[in-house]
Structure 1
């Protein structure tokens, strides 16, 4: 590979790492906000709707949301370009040649990423689009009742199951992606490798499990145990 090709490849991996880490940061904030859904129903409705109203009316949050949309698009396109480029190169990635020692999710990042992308399409349609452009009822405080939408969507067991499957894919995608980003940005130094690995594992598990328990809790508490 010539110098320009090497530089282009490094730039793509760096861009992938930066957008990925920004999305990792967003997931933490998003999870913290969604944990309000685990509160008792009356309190959860007031708290979650107020939280959604606050985000939609904050100019700083709007700017961050545009960065988020751009990061998702760039991350997906960059991943596709890297994948297509690698398929043109004779042979495979090193981790593809070490099936005995490499993790299965490291060899199937494309599949995991596709599952997450399909999930995002439905997720944006059911929540973001409904909140922005749908005719939502309002709660007793005059705020859009996004909480009611969430409860309605998570009333279908198959949707909850698909959501949890997507979070399973997200967890393993994060697990590999976090380490890859650390390598691309040059922070996966032998001196700190243990701490990077421990943090990456705990982060990935926390995000995946944290998001997965929310629809499960809502389905069980609102539609199973309640009845």
Structure 2
């Protein structure tokens, strides 16, 4: 196993691990967003609550939840390692750096965007995962009702929308970068991957952001 540890600690290994965990989290976002989008059926939360109950009681899903948390922690840890590694290579800042000449600002700000996302994630987990998994809150009312209650607070709505914007920019760089890191980089299909990534980076965060907005303005009930 020493070879595996050595490989994962190499610069290439860190980027590969970042890509694999990132793609895993992207697949989770798609599933999570699809389930949450059931609120837009505007059926009083019936379909959403049924989906949430299935996700919360199915043993396979609950096991994958552990895998998800492990992947998330690995992604955060590896991202921090890469950020520190890049910083150590340039301990003294250049007098003037024209970063925009070679990359987008969000590509150079993945550390900041990742930190904002982590703070948003902690808040999100407190509001819903902790409520549904580690408390007896569901005995009093449904998860849909909890969403209605949480998103009546305008401050929470603003924080969620900002978190979704950060997610969008994070995905805008991370989606195509992940495929590049695993070797899917070719003039023939790279433009397609970038196009799909751009669409994904807009649609998924926009759908997530629309949820608190819709609740707050009573567009769904």
TM-score by length of 2: 0.89
1:181 and 2:178 are equivalent in the alignment? yes
Aligned residue runs from structure 1 range 12-161, under 5 A: 12-40=14-42, 43-90=43-90, 98-138=99-139, 145-161=142-158
Indicate which of 200, 209, 212 corresponds to 2:209: 212
Report the Cα distance in structure 2 between the residues aligned to 1:69 and 1:6, rounded to whole angstroms: 19
Query: What count of residue pairs does the alignment treat as equivalent?
Result: 212
In 1, distance between residues paired with 2:103 and 2:32?
Answer: 31
8 Å contact from structure 2 (residues 116, 163) kept in 1: yes
Q: Cα distance 1:7–1:154, how it changes in 2: closer, same or farther (>3 A)?
A: closer
Cα deviation, residue 7, structure 1: 6.7
CA contact (8 A) 2:176 2:194 kept: yes
Aligned twin of 1:200? 197
Residue segments in structure 2 that go unaligned for 5+ positions in a row: 1-5
Structure 1 distance, partners of 2:7, 2:63, is: 33
1:172 aligns with 2:193: no
CA offset at residue 39 of structure 1? 2.5
CA deviations 1:163-205 (Å, max 9, x no partner) are: 0000000001001001211111110211212111111111111
Q: Deviations over 1:39-93 (max 9, x none)?
A: 22xx24222221111111111111211111001100000000111111111378x
RMSD (CA atoms): 2.2
Measure, in 2, the Cα distance between the counterparts of 1:126 and 1:132: 11
Equivalent pair of 2:99/2:105 in contact (CA under 8 Å): no
TM-score with structure 1 length normalisation? 0.87
**Aligned mates of 2:68, 2:44 — CA distance in 1:** 26
Which runs of at least 4 in structure 1 moved beyond 4 Å after TM superposition? 4-7
Q: Is the 8 A contact 2:8 2:17 kept in 1?
A: no
